[in-house]
Structure 1
Amino acid sequence: AIAERFASARMNIVIHYMHSHEAANEVARRCMNAGSQVMTVAADLRDRSQLHRMAERLAASGLQPDILVNNAGRSHYGMLADLTEEEWDDVMAVNLKGTFLCSQIFMPHMVSQRYGRIINVSSVWGISGASCEVAYSASKGGVNAFTKALARELAPSGVTVNAVAPGAVRTAMLGNLAEDEIRMLEEEIPAGGG
């Protein structure tokens, strides 16, 4: 949806994915139909070397992002007592480390041109916390603090850094929830769910 919104403004789009090759290509086709030039790239956001290769590929194609949307996310649903260290590390690596690495790798171009936008997708759980979502809530709270600090750091360079903190959005990430749990989340939305 984010890529398609930018495509509706006729912006050039780079769609990153890790495993969802066909889904990324489908989004790319819709963006091209809207008139945008589109490139898809695969990389593991937890791996600096893969991100550097991705940045080199973009630069070789004449693409230097003016707007970076850090949207990748990983969740874990369960009691903290049952959470393994590997599960904790994985959530932190995708949600927080991935945001750090992507920002660090792509911001130099923005700083050099004195214009850029970094948009981090957080969550309401990063503000209020969620039962049985300790790792996810902590990682998104980290994204919020990271955003505030980096915004102060980059403001003199003409680069803005903001976070959006949506509530529950019906994506694959909610796939492990039962329908009654989904209904409970919808009831918490002041404007109504659905």
Structure 2
Amino acid sequence: MRKVYQSAGKDTCGYIPFMILMEELDRTNSIITNYLKVAKPEPFQLAIVSMDDVMNDCVQLMRPLASYSNVIIDYENKEPFYVNGDEAHLKQAIMNVIKNGIESISNQGTIKIDLNADHFKNAVEISIKDNGKGMTPEQLKQIGLPFYTTKTKGTGLGSMVTNKIIRELNGSIEYVSEINKGTTVKIVFPLRNK
């Protein structure tokens, strides 16, 4: 049996290193999944959902990718603010925003997540802020459009699906960014009683 020795490029036996292979498989799977969601979206299973539970699950699921990328995710548990939504779709949208933030950080950095309720506006507000490469005003105008991406290995479908999910769940999403300083994504949903 042949042993595979990993190195920075190809290994000594001419095989692609295992981690790169796994990353490419994940990326391919993500692209196919996003195409399918655009072509044939799944129906929502609406329920009253705790946003703190959703955020905790998203943070825990994204921590391995963050650690691998030398990024810290900073989130503290909050009160269980409730929204009317589809838990699986909410997680997909929020994890996509967190993933984009992680991928925008080239060396090491932080994703700061805040979850608050604005009782005057009767809304739950989620803020996801990274200290990555940021975007120009022109790039910001394109976010969410089909096939527009600022990544070298992106399709643009992730942001499009994210924006679509949030808007179909009666939410709003706003991007604020500055080159070399980072991006803040603000997501707002109507607040619900349990």
TM-score normalised by the chain length of structure 1: 0.24
Tell me which of the two structures has the higher relative contact order, counting C-alpha pairs closer than 8 angstroms and 6 or more residues apart: 2
More strand by share: 2
More helix by share: 1
TM-score normalised by the chain length of structure 2: 0.24
